[in-house]
């Protein structure tokens, strides 16, 4: 007789319940076998794990490069934005007025001191000089006449042929005539100077600027005609705050006489090959900015520095000993200040707060927070965690093998893979 299946009645749907197609005895046999298979697979996978894998229950030691700290001496310095200017920037002005006849130089060219730059119309000055010479000749002739007259009257006075008053008048006329000669000589000198000033010359050697007037124009007395800038030496002006000067100066006090020199960093990032000197330091701070005005002087024989360039001036304020140099990428800036990651005696990561000074090349100068023998980690910083185990090695050495032997051993092993 066929087995009757129970039915579940519902107002809308009728569902017939069917037993599992797997017999209960088969289920009791299959489940233990499946569990045993999973355990065997897990055991096999654990045995096949490479020998270099993480140890049971711990993190793998991360290979890191470390630098062993040793105290050193560095030059203390402070940098600031600076601008170049000529040692002399001269406005060339006409000392006499007249019509500009000719420009005798090329704009922007280098000129020597005394070189002619402009020429004014000389005719009026030549006429004035001639008139002054003629007036001098008249004055001399008159003076000679008064000398003769005084000498003649002196003899007559001795013979009591004339009165003393007549002789005194003749003597006075002689003195006045001699004074007129001196005045005429001065007029001649002034006329000759005006004639020479009709040629405008460069008072210093340097580079000329744009001509302020062109030929045919009337130049007034003391009128600006051009400029000349002396390029050798070149001056560099810059300002440094009081706090920066104190931080970069040994003992915390800036002394201009202790400055070792000034270096110039050009716009392309290179350093000017000639070190300059500090030739001016203001006696007081700027009341508005709180900065000290400084000026450096640099030799510029080839004219490679031009006036108006924006550069960076590095003021070498002295030396500081007993400090440490750490690569810039090894210093991490946090909300609480700068820190470096070190490897302690147990080869575990130990963050160390430090006090940074200035940059020197690609390194930070560490003023406080490190001591001789500390091992500062310089790579893999993003993977480090405080207390994590590390495998430190010196720069240029492979992890776990001095001299990079580990890396050399790995290279041949990778070569056959490329052939396949």
- Which pLDDT value is given to residue 1? 43
The proportion of the chain whose per-residue pLDDT surpasses 90, expressed as a percent, equals 44
User: CA–CA separation, 92 vs 202, rounded Å?
Assistant: 7
Judge residue 16's burial from the number of C-beta atoms within 10 Å of its C-beta, 0-12 exposed, 13-18 middle, 19 or more buried. Answer: exposed
- Which pLDDT value is given to residue 74? 84
86: tokens are 């000529």
DSSP code of 217? P
pLDDT at 33 over 60: no
Contact by Cβ (8 Å): 66, 393 = yes
- More confident position, 361 or 81: 81
pLDDT-derived band at 104 (thresholds 50, 70, 90) equals very high
Residue with tokens 């009341």: 287
* Whether pTM exceeds 0.75: no
Provide mean pLDDT across the span 164-187. Answer: 89
Query: 76-87+231-319: same fold as 62-74+322-400?
Result: no
- Tell me which of 2.40.30.170, 3.40.50.2000, 3.40.50.720, 3.40.50.1380 is the CATH number of domain 76-87+231-319: 2.40.30.170
- Which pLDDT value is given to residue 246? 81
For 133-179, the DSSP string reads HHHHHHHHHHHHHHHHHHHHHHHHHHTT-S-HHHHHHHHHHHHHHHH
Provide mean pLDDT across the span 74-90. Answer: 89
Residue with tokens 């003597």: 171
User: CA–CA separation, 366 vs 34, rounded Å?
Assistant: 63
Name the nearest CA neighbour of 210 among 330, 126, 92.
92
pLDDT at 147 over 90: no
pLDDT at 294 over 90: yes
User: CA–CA separation, 60 vs 52, rounded Å?
Assistant: 9
Average pLDDT, the chain: 80
Look at strands 355-360 and 375-377 and give their pairing: unpaired
Scanning 2-122, the segments in alpha helix (DSSP H) are 24-47
pLDDT-derived band at 66 (thresholds 50, 70, 90) equals very high
pLDDT at 295 over 90: yes
Residue with tokens 């002619």: 116
Of 75-79, 133-137, 346-350, 358-362, the range with the lowest mean pLDDT is 358-362
Of 5-9, 129-133, 237-241, 413-417, the range with the lowest mean pLDDT is 413-417
- Which pLDDT value is given to residue 141? 92
Helix (H), strand (E) at residue 11: none
Which residues lie across from 65 on neighbouring strands? 393
CATH number of 122-197: 1.10.287.470
Q: Which of 30-34, 171-175, 310-314 has the highest mean pLDDT?
A: 310-314
Biggest alpha carbon distance in the chain?
198
Give the model confidence (pLDDT) of 201-232 as tens digits. Answer: 999 999 999 999 999 999 999 999 999 999 98
pLDDT at 100 over 90: yes
pLDDT at 59 over 80: no
Judge residue 268's burial from the number of C-beta atoms within 10 Å of its C-beta, 0-12 exposed, 13-18 middle, 19 or more buried. Answer: exposed
- Which pLDDT value is given to residue 34? 42
Of 44-58, 166-180, 328-342, the range with the lowest mean pLDDT is 44-58
Name the nearest CA neighbour of 192 among 133, 247, 152.
133
Cβ partners under 8 Å of residue 340, min gap 6: 326, 330, 331, 332, 351, 352, 354, 366, 369, 370, 376, 377
- Which pLDDT value is given to residue 83? 95
pLDDT at 12 over 60: no
Q: Which of 8-17, 224-233, 400-409 has the highest mean pLDDT?
A: 224-233
- Which pLDDT value is given to residue 153? 81
Of 69-83, 120-134, 222-236, 250-264, the range with the lowest mean pLDDT is 250-264
Contact by Cβ (8 Å): 374, 342 = yes
- Which pLDDT value is given to residue 399? 63
The upper half-sphere exposure of residue 4, i.e. CA atoms within 13 Å in the direction of its Cβ, equals: 3
| CATH T-level topology, domain 62-74+322-400 | 2.40.420
User: CA–CA separation, 359 vs 247, rounded Å?
Assistant: 13
User: CA–CA separation, 68 vs 326, rounded Å?
Assistant: 10
User: CA–CA separation, 100 vs 222, rounded Å?
Assistant: 13
User: CA–CA separation, 264 vs 281, rounded Å?
Assistant: 17
Residue with tokens 């402070």: 78
pLDDT-derived band at 58 (thresholds 50, 70, 90) equals low
Of 31-40, 115-124, 264-273, 373-382, the range with the lowest mean pLDDT is 31-40
Cβ partners under 8 Å of residue 228, min gap 6: 88, 89, 90, 92, 111, 202, 203, 204, 206, 207, 208, 209
Q: Residue ranges of the domains in the chain?
A: 62-74+322-400, 76-87+231-319, 122-197
**Phi and psi dihedrals of 208, rounded to 5?**
-80, 155
- Which pLDDT value is given to residue 197? 94
Contact by Cβ (8 Å): 207, 306 = no
């Amino acid at each position: 007789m066929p087995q009757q299946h129970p039915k579940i009645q519902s107002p809308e749907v009728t569902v017939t319940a069917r037993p599992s197609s797997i017999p209960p005895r088969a289920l009791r046999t299959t489940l233990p076998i499946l569990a045993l298979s999973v355990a065997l697979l897990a055991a096999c996978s654990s045995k096949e794990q490479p020998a270099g894998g993480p140890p049971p229950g711990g993190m793998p030691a991360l290979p890191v490069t470390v630098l062993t700290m040793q105290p050193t001496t560095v030059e203390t310095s402070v940098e600031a934005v600076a601008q170049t200017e000529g040692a002399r920037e001269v406005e060339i002005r006409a000392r006499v007025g007249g019509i500009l006849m000719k420009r005798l130089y090329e704009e922007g060219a280098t000129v020597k001191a005394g070189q002619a730059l402009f020429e004014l119309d000389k005719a009026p000055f030549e006429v004035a000089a001639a008139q002054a010479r003629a007036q001098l000749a008249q004055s001399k002739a008159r003076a000679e006449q008064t000398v003769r007259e005084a000498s003649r009257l002196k003899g007559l006075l001795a013979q009591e042929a004339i009165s003393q008053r007549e002789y005194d008048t003749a003597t006075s006329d002689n003195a006045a005539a001699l004074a007129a000669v001196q005045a005429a000589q001065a007029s001649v000198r002034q006329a000759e100077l005006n004639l020479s000033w009709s040629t405008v010359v460069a008072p210093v050697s340097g580079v000329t600027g744009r001509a302020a007037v062109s030929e045919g124009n009337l130049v007034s007395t003391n009128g600006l005609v051009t400029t000349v800038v002396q390029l050798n030496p070149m001056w560099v002006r810059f300002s440094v705050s009081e706090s920066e000067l104190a931080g970069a100066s040994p003992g915390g006090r800036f002394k201009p006489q202790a400055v070792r020199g000034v270096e110039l960093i050009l716009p392309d990032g290179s350093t000017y090959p000639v070190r300059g000197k500090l030739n001016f330091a203001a006696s007081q701070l700027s009341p508005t900015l709180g900065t000290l005005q400084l000026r450096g002087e640099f030799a510029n024989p080839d004219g490679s520095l031009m006036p108006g360039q924006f550069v960076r001036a590095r003021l070498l304020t002295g030396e500081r000993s007993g400090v440490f140099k750490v690569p810039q990428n090894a210093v991490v800036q946090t909300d609480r200040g700068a820190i470096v990651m070190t490897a302690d005696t147990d080869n575990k990561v130990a963050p160390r707060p430090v006090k940074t000074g200035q940059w020197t090349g690609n390194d930070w100068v560490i003023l406080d927070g490190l001591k001789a023998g500390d091992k500062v980690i310089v790579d893999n910083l993003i993977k480090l965690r405080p207390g994590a185990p590390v495998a430190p090695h010196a720069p240029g050495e492979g992890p776990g093998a001095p001299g990079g032997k580990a890396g050399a051993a790995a290279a041949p092993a990778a070569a056959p893979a490329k052939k396949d």
